[in-house]
Homo-oligomer: A and B are copies of this chain.
Amino acid sequence: MASSLVNGRPALSVDLSDRGLLYGDGVFRTVRVHGARPLNWPNHYMRLAQDCKALGLVCPEERVLLEEIGRVAAGEASAVAKVIVTRGVSGRGYAYPDGLASTRIVVAHPSPPDSSGAAREGVRVRRCELALARQPRLAGVKSLNRLENVLARAEWRDPAIREGLIGDAEGRLVEGTMSNVFLAFGGKLVTPDLSRCGVVGAQRERIRALARDQSIPCEVRDVGFEELPRADEVFLCNSLIGIWPVVAMGESRWLPGPVASLMQRLIELEDARTG
């Protein structure tokens, strides 16, 4: 597979003058695809549009992306599609001209290894040493500037540790290196506010909407690492893993709980209906 399109044409590479390479001047999404249909697509497209707006990029039309995701994933029962939008090819220098044509990249990857064991039994995580920088102009945006995530993920090698939680310089919990985080307290959900740093994932947004549908309160607020041991449940989410309950971090222990389990079920149902 690894089928890929650049601006709608089959291609394996991008121009050396593309600002995505030169400056990380672009945004992306990673989408699960079943039978050439992207799952959780409304949230993915909404986030892509918002992230493009944050950087002043023109967001590709939805029908174009759907068609291209369908093309790269054609014939695959299940796949992962990565959608990248960069500001395009320009001359040297940070300034860019008006009306620059953005670069649209759609790539299919094989589905990740099955992680239903992790989804059922939970995972061990660690706390990363790297602290995320506070940049309100980029907070929430899934931009191509991801060195903080790369450096945080490089802090450990032990394959038994499936994710690292990252905080900010003030010791607040923000996210995982590749996931968003939820805490449950007595059947109520809490997830970190991402207005200073972090990435707003499409799965996080879906979980917030599903909680609303179920009348489960979900608060978005600052969360301290010190709250974790008191939480009844802690779970991670992203578009590829779905939901992984956290069962251990340092000395703290949790059990996979009913809120994570309910959310997993609701996601499955929605995917079965729309995928």
* Contact (Cβ within 8 A) A23 B55: no
* Contact (Cβ within 8 A) A55 B21: no
* Contact (Cβ within 8 A) A21 B23: no
* A236 interface contact, C-beta 8 A: no
The 4 closest A-B pairs by CB, nearest first: A24-B24, A133-B133, A13-B13, A133-B135
* Contact (Cβ within 8 A) B55 A94: no
Partner of A94, one of B4, B15, B150, B169: B150
Which B residues are CB-close (under 8 A) to A269? none
* A144 interface contact, C-beta 8 A: yes
Cα-based distance from A19 to B24 in the complex (angstroms): 10
Which B residues are CB-close (under 8 A) to A160? none
User: Which of A6, A94, A95 has the largest count of B CB atoms less than 10 A from its CB?
Assistant: A94
Cα-based distance from A80 to B149 in the complex (angstroms): 32
Cα-based distance from A56 to B23 in the complex (angstroms): 19
CB of A207, distance to nearest CB on chain B (Å): 22
Could you list 18 further interchain pairs (A-B, Cβ under 8 angstroms) beyond the known A24-B147, A94-B154? Answer: A6-B16, A14-B14, A21-B21, A22-B28, A23-B24, A23-B144, A23-B147, A24-B24, A30-B92, A92-B109, A92-B112, A94-B150, A94-B153, A94-B178, A130-B137, A133-B197, A138-B147, A138-B151
* Contact (Cβ within 8 A) A147 B151: no
Which B residues are CB-close (under 8 A) to A134? 133-134, 169
* Contact (Cβ within 8 A) A15 B13: yes
* A216 interface contact, C-beta 8 A: no
* Contact (Cβ within 8 A) B16 A144: no
Cα-based distance from A197 to B134 in the complex (angstroms): 11
* Contact (Cβ within 8 A) B25 A146: yes
